[in-house]
Copies of this chain bind each other. A is one copy, B any other.
């Protein structure tokens, strides 16, 4: 069963471009049949060939193939024209007859457009899980298993992915996934420096070294600016620059009213920006509520933990210590889940017109939740617990659990001398940057893999049982299938694989990007606490890059290619984190660099004005440096950008030359006879007088006469030089006098 690998190339997928998963579970058979018929007709109308095969669990698999060359070519051509009109392409596309998809991702993207776009822009209008297509569960391309295995094997041997590797990812999975891997690769490459530097600092200066903090901030600025340029470079290389301008309306968009456009004459749905702004104001209470809800959980668990681990001396301490951890792991995901669903609802309510705008707004909201859950615990330790512990901690014993009931009188005197645990901060940072990363990796890659495998084995086991009863009932004519919905012998293996793929989750690149941004945040915000943070991340990200690819290939459906020219709102997030990092780094270094073991823990030892002055200078220095780095980086054009500019320049030049060429030829024809033939006789008073008489006879007005005094440029030159000469003569006479 496992042997006999599929043939190379597209053949292993039986030329199938897309698979549409159609579910008929729960629905009445008649309605489902009608919907299926409509689906197939729509596909046929748009020029796609379809084959229906049974799937698993009340699913049908509709295999789609762009077999009609002309329809595909037309779709490609249309997409390119659209790109060209939006300025994504610099050159007008060639003729329709020669329009061929250049990459696999372009082919898949265009077929996906053919399937999903509304009819008026040239698609079949099939919208999975939406509107009349509620039974269409998914539309997905099939994995190219041979290539995938090749890449995985190749990458596990090398440190850096080459540009060609990134191009291949992009060719297989589209630009948005390509950008994620390119980002991960750039980030990984850039981490080498802080990892080496951090390690040296850790050896030489230990934690909280000023120089490490400064270099780390600077590195962050340079990395972000570098990535911006890299993004631009890639978007030129992948020809997706400005692709966000080609936007399709969100299907869920609900216009408030229909307005007839005065210019285009179309009626279009309008949702006033003011109404949206009012709805967006709900974000403020939402952010506050999130902060309070999550903050309260975190702060409470934190307080309980400190109380139990450092004050409490009663019975069961060994077990009670785990209470806050259990509480945290139970409450935070629950609360986050609730908040994310609230955020999604809010976002739906804000009713964005385009998917890009919707995603950006949702990203922003989710980032608020992530920011709190990820960084608040460390913030609490660094800026509340350590400086103010001796003030706050005595109040933690609100239930008076500590002293009275359990402790004998002679011990009572020792309780109040509470000392803070200066190692706590470092331990926490190490937890978040090493342990949590490893746990995250397991949860994200290994767990789904195992889960899937078990689910599949369970299914197979169940099927076998049902199958056995079936085989008992019917015959065994296996060479010719007994009816249209049993697998043919030569398709069996293929269909089994497709059914497996149909069963997988959909890949979401945003989650992976978010993970990386949150990771960058730890580096920017807290790495001075423990300079080995970048070393840990370096190792983690080497694995991450491969495991994320593994995840796409093994755990997920193949994603439909989506074009992108940026990693989107996450770029702003990185900039924001780096900025906040300049503040926290300065504060951490100021507060903890005083002695070898950290500050005494007394709030009086930290001078408020000095701390604030440090922050003030650090932040503004950061902003100035960022400005300078931005200005300097702007001077260097990435290779592809220059290339693209030159191309645009060439188009312009050709166009202009064609108009200029026409010009010089007919210019001569027009002017030459008139001007060259002028008699350049001497301009005497006589000729001038003649002119004057001439004009008065013709009755021209002075304005016209003004332009008639000198005939042609030669006469003007003559007049001019005579003025010059006479003036020169005049000055000479004067001089002589």
Contact = CB atoms under 8 A, between A and B. Distances in A.
Contacts of A71: 667
A475 interface: no
A575 B78 CA distance: 43
B725 A483 contact: no
A287 to B, nearest CB: 11
Interface string A469-506: 00000000000111111001011001000000000000
A721 interface: yes
Contacts of A671: 44, 47, 68
A710 B650 contact: no
Interface string A605-622: 001110111011000000
A722 B486 CA distance: 12
B713 A43 contact: yes
Contacts of A483: 685, 722, 726
Contacts of A65: 707
Interface residues of A, number: 114
A435 interface: no
Contact of A612 (B86, B613, B712): B613
Interface in A447-484: 480-484
Given A659-B81, A705-B490, A263 B650 contact: yes
A412 B721 CA distance: 81
Given A40-B720, A483-B685, A484-B719, A725 B29 contact: yes
A547 to B, nearest CB: 32
Given A609-B608, A635-B273, A24 B724 contact: yes
A-side binding surface: helix, strand, loop or mixed? helix
A147 interface: no
Nearest to A485: B723
Contact of A264 (B264, B490, B650): B650
Given A688-B480, A725-B33, A703 B11 contact: yes
Nearest to A262: B646
B652 A85 contact: yes
Interface in A672-725: 675, 683, 685, 688-689, 692, 701-707, 709-710, 712-714, 716-717, 719-725
Which interface residue of A86, A709, A720 has the most chain B CB atoms within 10 A? A720
Contacts of A277: 632, 635
B717 A660 contact: no
B36 A717 contact: yes
Interface stretch (A50-58, A107-115, A151-159, A185-193): A50-58
B675 A716 contact: no
A659 B78 contact: yes
Contacts of A724: 24, 29, 32-33, 36, 60
A611 to B, nearest CB: 8
Closest 5 CB pairs of A and B: A608-B609, A33-B721, A612-B612, A490-B702, A273-B635
20 contacts: A15-B706, A32-B721, A37-B720, A40-B720, A44-B671, A44-B675, A47-B667, A50-B710, A50-B713, A62-B716, A68-B670, A74-B659, A78-B663, A82-B656, A263-B647, A264-B649, A273-B636, A480-B685, A481-B688, A491-B706
Interface of A: 11, 14-16, 22, 24, 29, 32-33, 36-37, 40-41, 43-44, 47, 49-52, 54, 58, 60, 62-63, 65, 67-68, 70-71, 74, 77-78, 81-82, 85-87, 96, 121-122, 261, 263-264, 273, 276-277, 480-485, 488, 490-491, 494, 607-609, 611-613, 615-616, 632, 635-636, 643, 646-647, 649-653, 655-656, 659-660, 663, 667, 670-671, 675, 683, 685, 688-689, 692, 701-707, 709-710, 712-714, 716-717, 719-728
Given A36-B721, A44-B713, 9 more contacts: A14-B703, A24-B724, A33-B725, A44-B671, A52-B719, A52-B720, A54-B723, A60-B723, A612-B612
